[in-house]
Amino acid sequence: MNIKARLAELQNKAADKTVLTKAWIIERLIKNVERAMQAEQVLDREGNATGEYTYQGSVANRALELPGNEIVDRDI
């Protein structure tokens, strides 16, 4: 196998591991909205409810803005 072919193979394998999908990003944005809007309990690292709820409107708005822009751009 020549060097260029091997290098291309290794680069493709690395790229496969780092690719983000639109679905993955939207899923994370939805999680941010739910947390910011207090739709989900805050959990500690072990998954136990902390009893804490804090409203973070700017976080929710930003998380909604990103996919919202995508939808609006498609409709134009």
pTM of the model as a whole: 0.45
Contacts of 56 (CB under 8 A, 6+ apart): 35, 36
Whether residue 32 is contained in a domain is answered as yes
The continuous run of DSSP H or E covering 8 comes out as helix 3-18
Please give the residue that has the higher pLDDT: either 59 or 76: 59
pLDDT in tens, 8-19: 887 777 666 655
Whether residue 13 is contained in a domain is answered as no
pLDDT in tens, 1-43: 688 887 788 777 766 665 567 777 778 878 877 777 776 778 8
Q: How many CB atoms lie within 10 A of CB 34?
A: 13
45 pLDDT exceeds 90?
Answer: yes
- Domain containing 45 equals 21-75
Whether residue 68 is contained in a domain is answered as yes
